[in-house]
């Protein structure tokens, strides 16, 4: 996953755009996968927050969006292996 500068408006727009591409159903798939892998309470809860806010990234802080996207990247990477 690329490193995003949380102070750069362009990077923030890119992160929000990536977040908004996922639907609530896709977030549910990530939640199920995280539960299967035992990724921890906090990580699963933040994915559930992402599901509730699917398509409306403007209500999430840049730090939270970055955390969520890093979890998605981690789940996708481990799935491919």
Q: What is the pLDDT of residues 24-52, one digit of tens each?
A: 999 999 999 999 999 999 999 999 999 99
- Mean pLDDT to the nearest integer, 57-63: 94
Instruction: State the average pLDDT for the chain.
Output: 92
Beta-carbon contacts of 14 under 8 Å, excluding residues fewer than 6 positions away, are 4
Q: Quick check: pTM over 0.85?
A: yes
Q: Dig out the tokens for 81 from the structure.
A: 């292996």
Q: Dig out the tokens for 45 from the structure.
A: 């809860």
Rounded to an integer, what distance in angstroms lies between the CA atom of residue 81 and that of residue 78? 5
């Amino acid at each position: 996953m690329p490193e995003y500068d949380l102070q750069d408006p362009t990077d923030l727009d890119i992160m929000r755009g990536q977040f908004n591409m996922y639907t609530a159903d896709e977030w549910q798939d990530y939640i199920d996968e995280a539960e299967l892998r035992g990724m921890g309470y906090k990580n699963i809860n933040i994915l559930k927050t992402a599901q509730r806010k699917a398509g409306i990234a403007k209500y999430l802080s840049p730090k939270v969006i970055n955390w969520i996207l890093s979890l998605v990247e981690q789940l996708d990477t481990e799935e491919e292996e």
